[in-house]
């Protein structure tokens, strides 16, 4: 989707003025891109109609380029489509009861572990995980293993075949042990069926959860939307969790679900590691879809991983467009520690695209690291001084060809251009740079 939208914008970027004709063409491109990304036709149409109205309405503003104007409008509308503001996640009960529902394989158990880890480490909560999947003994083991990894207790009753009873006993246990959050991992089926729905609805009625989260595999596209609809009719859930975002290149589910069920997406999960859970921010997601990167999340991840002061320095440098090779090298080292490298790189503006086709493993950075290592400190701090002569020397030092060095320099340049463009966004503030 990102790529298709970029093409749509490219065609209007060269134009000096916004006209009805170039708006119409861009709109058509955007609509087609959305539909190809598995966004429901009706939503795509409504979306582009809104963008068109806004674009036509602001034709008079000629201080910014048509391309920038369109990007801004689309970004705002995407944000709106995905819910506008960050949704509230209610963990105020004591214990707060959180019910997890969804199809089998959607990622419920993995998410339950991630959520427990998130609440424990980020919110200073004392969660208790409950294995309420009574059909598969392996499911209990799976949750036990996760619980052990994050140091959270798991409540289970292997002999009991009444899920409601198990959950009620778990809540009693949580109260007696002073646990302030209870996360209930339920059973799923491969397809929606009456028995499963009634069971989850029964748990809901019996324990009145504070949050009911519907977990859905974002890779399932339109199916994700249909499943969401069915679950919502039966459960009236309070939020959606999109999993496997690391495998979803099209982004259609994220764009359609909020619209169809009118429930906010609360979390996104993108990897099998237990710390790859993120709170969902519609504006950041919109930026990611537009290929503008997601600096805010990157900076937050960086903050979590290393020093606050360090992260602020990085943010400042990106803002002032002073990001240099030394910073690049330092980021590389940090990123390697943070895991899920491709994901993180995608958050740097312009970087996602540059790295798209590369199979990223830690080794993939070796070449880049070698090139930066072969630069003098002066060169690292002043990328502009790196002339052809210097490039020859760097290539030799790094055991690379001059073409490889040139290609890397070009990529770095593109990245900086992208950062610069973001700094100039018409909002006056950098999108995503909220604090
Ligand atoms: P459940 O049946 O709904 O409980 O689903 P599981 O939590 O057991 O997950 C099903 C499979 O998807 C497992 O192999 C998980 O490791 C995998 N999985 C879960 N979440 C993610 C994710 O965010 N990204 C990726 N790539 N895999 C995931
Ligand atoms: Mg499970």
- Which ligand is the nearest neighbour of the Cα of 245? 1
Q: What CA–CA distance (Å, rounded) separates 261 from 114? A: 24
* Ligand showing the shortest atom-to-Cα distance for residue 135: 2
pTM: 0.71
- Mutate-to-test residue for ligand 1 from 102, 103, 107, 118, highest number of ligand atoms within 8 A of CB: 107
Q: Which atom of ligand 1 is found nearest the CA of 243? A: 23
Positive or negative CA dihedral for 155, 157, 158, 161? negative
- The 10s digit of each residue's pLDDT in 113-162 is 999 999 999 999 999 999 999 888 899 999 999 999 999 999 999 999 89
Nearest CA to ligand 1 atom 22: 244
Q: Please say if the pLDDT value at position 254 is more than 50.
A: yes
Q: Determine whether the annotation assigns residue 253 to a binding site.
A: no
CATH superfamily of domain region 96-289: P-loop containing nucleotide triphosphate hydrolases (3.40.50.300)
Beta-carbon count within 10 A of 388 CB:
9
Q: Which ligand is nearest to the CA of 101?
A: 1
Matching residue, tokens 């940090």: 334
**Mean per-residue pLDDT of the chain:** 83
Q: What are the tokens at 193?
A: 């069926």
Q: In the β-sheet with 181-186, what is the strand arrangement from edge to edge?
A: 154-155, 127-132, 181-186, 96-101, 211-217, 239-243, 265-269, 277-279
- Tell me, rounded to whole angstroms, the distance of Cα 139 from its chain centroid: 27
- In the chain, which segments carry CATH 3.40.50.300? 96-289
Report the sign of the C-alpha dihedral through residues 25, 29, 34, 40, in that order: positive
Given the CA of residue 104, which atom of ligand 1 is nearest to it?
A: 2
pLDDT tens-place string over residues 151-204 = 999 999 999 989 999 999 999 999 999 999 999 999 988 878 888 899 999 999
**Which of 101, 269, 272 has most ligand 1 atoms within 8 Å of CB, for mutation?**
272
CA of 130 to the centre of ligand 2 (A): 11
What pLDDT sits at residue 431?
42
Which pLDDT belongs to residue 427? 43
Binding pocket residue ranges, ligand 1, CB within 6 Å? 102, 104-110, 188, 243-244, 246-247, 269-272
Q: How far apart are CA 11 and CA 24, in angstroms?
A: 12
Count of Cβ atoms closer than 10 Å to residue 318 Cβ: 24
What's the gap in Å between 270 CA and the centre of ligand 1?
10
Q: What is the Cα Rg of the chain in Å?
A: 24
* CATH superfamily placement of domain 2-81: SRP54, nucleotide-binding domain (1.20.120.140)
- List where CATH 1.10.260.30 sits in the chain: 295-423
Measured from the Cα of 112, ligand 1's closest atom is 7
Query: What would the pLDDT profile of 356-379 be if each residue is shown by its tens digit?
Result: 555 555 566 778 888 998 999 899
242: helix, strand or coil: strand
- Residue whose CA lies nearest to ligand 1 atom number 16: 272
Q: Which CATH homologous superfamily contains domain 295-423?
A: Signal recognition particle, SRP54 subunit, M-domain (1.10.260.30)
Task: Read off the tokens for 361.
Answer: 């493993």
Interstrand relation of 265-269 and 277-279 (parallel, antiparallel or unpaired) = antiparallel
Nearest atom in ligand 1 to 103's CA: 3
d(CA 329, CA 334): 9
């Amino acid at each position: 989707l990102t790529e298709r939208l970029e093409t749509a914008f490219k065609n209007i970027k060269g134009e000096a003025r916004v006209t009805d004709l170039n708006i119409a063409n861009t709109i058509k491109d955007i609509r087609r891109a959305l539909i190809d990304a598995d966004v429901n036709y009706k939503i795509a149409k409504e979306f582009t109609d809104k963008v068109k109205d806004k674009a036509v309405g602001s034709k008079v503003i000629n201080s910014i380029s048509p391309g920038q104007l369109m990007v801004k409008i689309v970004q705002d509308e995407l944000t709106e489509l995905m819910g506008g503001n960050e949704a509230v996640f209610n963990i105020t009960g004591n214990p707060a009861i959180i019910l997890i529902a969804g199809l089998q394989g959607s990622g419920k158990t993995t998410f339950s572990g991630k959520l427990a880890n998130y609440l424990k480490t980020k919110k200073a909560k004392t969660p208790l995980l409950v294995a309420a999947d009574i059909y598969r003994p392996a499911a209990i083991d799976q949750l036990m293993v996760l619980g052990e990894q994050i140091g959270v207790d798991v409540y289970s009753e292997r002999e009991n075949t009444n899920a409601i009873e198990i959950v009620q006993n778990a809540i009693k246990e949580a109260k007696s042990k002073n646990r302030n959050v209870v996360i209930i991992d339920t059973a799923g089926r491969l397809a929606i069926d009456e028995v499963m729905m009634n069971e989850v609805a029964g748990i809901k009625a019996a324990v009145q959860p504070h949050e009911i989260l519907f977990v859905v595999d974002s890779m399932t596209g339109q199916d994700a939307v249909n499943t969401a609809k069915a679950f919502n009719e039966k459960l009236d859930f309070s939020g959606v969790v999109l999993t496997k975002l690391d495998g979803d290149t099209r982004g259609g589910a994220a764009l359609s679900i909020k619209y169809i069920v009118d429930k906010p997406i609360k979390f996104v999960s993108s990897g099998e590691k237990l710390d790859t859970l993120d709170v969902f921010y519609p504006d950041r997601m919109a930026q990611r879809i537009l290929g503008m990167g997601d600096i805010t999340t990157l900076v937050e991840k960086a903050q979590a991983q290393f020093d606050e002061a360090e992260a602020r320095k990085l943010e400042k440098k990106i803002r002032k467009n002073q990001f240099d090779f030394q910073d690049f090298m330092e980021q590389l080292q940090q990123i390697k520690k943070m895991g899920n490298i491709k994901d993180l790189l995608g958050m740097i503006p312009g970087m996602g695209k540059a790295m798209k086709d590369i199979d990223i493993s830690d080794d993939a950075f070796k070449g880049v690291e070698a090139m930066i290592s072969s630069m003098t400190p002066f060169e690292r701090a002043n990328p502009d001084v790196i002339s052809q002569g210097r490039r020859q020397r760097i290539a030799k030092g790094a055991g690379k060809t001059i073409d490889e060095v040139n290609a890397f320099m070009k990529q770095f340049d593109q990245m900086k251009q992208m950062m610069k463009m973001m700094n100039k966004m018409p909002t006056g503030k950098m999108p995503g740079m909220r604090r």
